[in-house]
Structure 1
Amino acid sequence: MEDKIIYEVLRVINGIPIFLEAHLQRMKNSFKLINEEFPLSYEEISTKIQNVIKDENKYNGNIKITYGINEKKLKVFFIEHFYPTDEMYKNGVDTILYFGERENPNAKIVNDSFREKVNKEIKDNNAYEAILIDNNGNVTEGSKSNIFMIKNNILMTSPTKAVLPGVTRGEIIELAQRLGIQVQEVEYKYTDIDKLDGMFISGTSPKVLPIKTVNSIKLDPANKIIRCLMEEYDREIMNYIEESKK
């Protein structure tokens, strides 16, 4: 029987695992969604992460946490990462539509088959990310990120039930609400993407990354709400790092 592997990927900046508590809460939720007990403690995982950082003398990068349900073994290790360039943050990135959805969108479970199919489409189209479209024609999420849309100064994202509730996604929603930006969870048809004022990707590696194109549809990467959230999210990370040092 193939082992079911629950995982999280988090970003380490200056030796600090960013938003670790939120990542572990999501990992705990992934266990709950498949009716499994969460057998790990915050202290156990945090200590293992710090040991990996010190042992490898690596203070910036992405760390993956995995736990095999059958194997009952925790693994923590650095993985290859790709962070967007300054040019990508300035001018936005190209994306494609991919018609498919995850089997269990709320749980972060390894699915190599789905990942391989999407990655091939991304590579074949020379795109940065694929935006997943469900069976009803609604925008859900990116293949390895969450997706936000802006229309009439309203920040929109897919309903939580239809996507992986990303840690960065949650931080952005809280930030927007604090800034007085109206946030709505909506089912949005992919056929109406051309009516949007802007779109962006959110995630551990990209943070807040503007979208320049979706297939042949051009969007505005300089949208003022996107730019505001980019700055505020970076500030939130810096605040987290400073608090973690105390």
Structure 2
Amino acid sequence: MFNFNGGLLEDNSSFLNEKNRGVQLGDAVFEELRVVNGEIIYLEDHYLRLMSSMRILRMEIPMNFTMEFMEAEILKIFSESDLKKAKRVKFNVFRNSQEDYFDSDNSISYFINSSTLESPFFVLNNSIYEVELFKDFYKNSTMLSNLDTNNKILSVVAAIYARENDYQDCLLLNERKQVIEAINGNIFVVKGSQVKTPPITDGCTNGILRKKLVELISNLKEFEFVEDSVSPFELQKADELFIVNAIDGIIPITKYRKKDFVNTVSKSLLGKLNAAARLSLSPGS
């Protein structure tokens, strides 16, 4: 079951036409988020980011598109038994269908779909997670690169490269050949007590969990947080590398080229991140 403009449709239903701008032009933006026991993790942050993305893309935001509306539309797709499970939700917004660049009134439609997660909490994966730089194409360091849009062709090609070479992920570079993120989320670099992540201005996705982890680390006395550009030369000198995203939480990188990494800081931060996520839910949840 999924939600299309407020109406519920069965999975695999046809609901887009051949002129859809999300398909024809990549004219769409989305939020991926977690729902646990009927509560949306970091709802306000996801709502504000979606509104900001829509404004940047000059989409018309309907008057009724409030945070309460977004929450109600998401929860509408779940049955009573679904609400007892952990869910991954994707909230997709696209400009209404006109395949010409200039012929659009900027009005929007949306659809919301979901899948079930194994755990209501972020869980550290101890599997091998080897990465490599993807150098065929670069991501430009502009404001558009900070958004989650349907224009993911660079990540798609990078994922194919990773699969062909038996890597679990690839690290993406901007036009200045700085490391900005992984295909699967924002990247953090640990050296001693310093934890570093690239700034938004370098072109990385402005991820919600990136924001929350930055807030968390900045308030911990045992770590020095740094937001600065990351050179590829820093990676092999690091003690630890990890990726964060709103669905998986923290993903420790186990190997980059000839360097194997520990996950000590990842483990330390994961429990604190789960606690922060629980506190973000409404009282009594």
Task: Report the TM-score range of the alignment, normalised by the length of the smaller protein.
Answer: 0.7 to 0.9
Question: 1:170 corresponds to which residue?
Answer: 211
Aligned to 1:53, the other structure's residue is in SS state coil
Partner of 2:39: 16
How many angstroms apart in 2 are the aligned matches of 1:169 and 1:26? 13
Which amino acid letter does the alignment assign opposite residue 50 of structure 1? Answer: L
- 3-state SS of paired residue (1:28): helix
C-alpha deviation, 1:151, in angstroms:
1.6
> Match of 2:280, SS?
helix
CA contact (8 A) 2:32 2:247 kept: no
Q: Which residue does the alignment assign to 1:155?
A: 195
Output one character per residue of 1:155-174: Cα deviation in whole Å (capped at 9) or x when no partner: 10001122111111011011
Letter of the aligned partner of 2:205 in structure 1? L
Deviations 1:97-140 (A, max 9, x none): 11234452111110243232122112213332221012222110
Aligned partners of 1:66, 1:244: CA distance in 2, in Å? 28
Do residues 66 (structure 1) and 92 (structure 2) align? Answer: yes
Which sections of structure 2, spanning at least 5 residues, go unmatched? 1-18, 98-107
Number of residue pairs the alignment of both structures matches: 241
Q: Residue 71 of structure 2 aligns to which amino acid in structure 1?
A: S
Q: Secondary structure of 1:172's partner?
A: helix
Specify whether residues 244 and 53 from structure 1 end up closer, same or farther in structure 2 by C-alpha distance, changes over 3 A only.
Answer: farther
Any idea what the Cα deviations from partners look like across 1:190-240, whole Å, max 9, x if unmatched?
1231111111010022201211112x23242233x3222112112212323
Among 247, 250, 256, the alignment partner of 1:205 is 247
- In 2, the alpha carbon distance for the partners of 1:17 and 1:230 equals 19
Give the structure-1-normalised TM-score. Answer: 0.87
Match of 2:111 in 1: 75
**CA distance in 2 between partners of 1:188 and 1:6 (Å):** 27
Structure 2 residue 275 is matched with structure 1 residue 235: yes
Distance 2:128 2:195 in 1: 18
Name the structure with the higher helix share. Answer: 1
Whole-angstrom CA distance in 2 between matches of 1:41 and 1:26: 13
Deviates more, 1:144-153 or 1:110-119: 110-119
For 2:55, the equivalent position in structure 1 comes to: 32
Question: Offset at 1:68?
Answer: 0.8
SS in 1 for 2:58: coil
Q: Measure the CA separation in 1 of the matches of 2:116 and 2:156.
A: 17
Q: How many angstroms apart in 2 are the aligned matches of 1:244 and 1:37?
A: 33
1:46 corresponds to which residue?
A: 71
Alignment root-mean-square deviation, CA? 2.5
Where 2:111 maps in the other structure, the secondary structure is strand
Task: Provide runs of 4+ in structure 1 moved above 6 Å.
Answer: 80-83
Greater gyration radius: 2
Q: Distance between the aligned counterparts of 2:152 and 2:266, measured in 1? A: 32
The amino acid across from 1:75 in the alignment is F
Q: Distance in 2 between matches of 1:164 and 1:179?
A: 24
Q: If the length of structure 2 is used for normalisation, what is the TM-score?
A: 0.76
Worse-matched range after superposition: 30-39 or 59-68: 30-39
How far 1:48 sits from its partner (Å)?
Answer: 0.7
Pairing partner for 1:221 from 262, 266, 271: 262
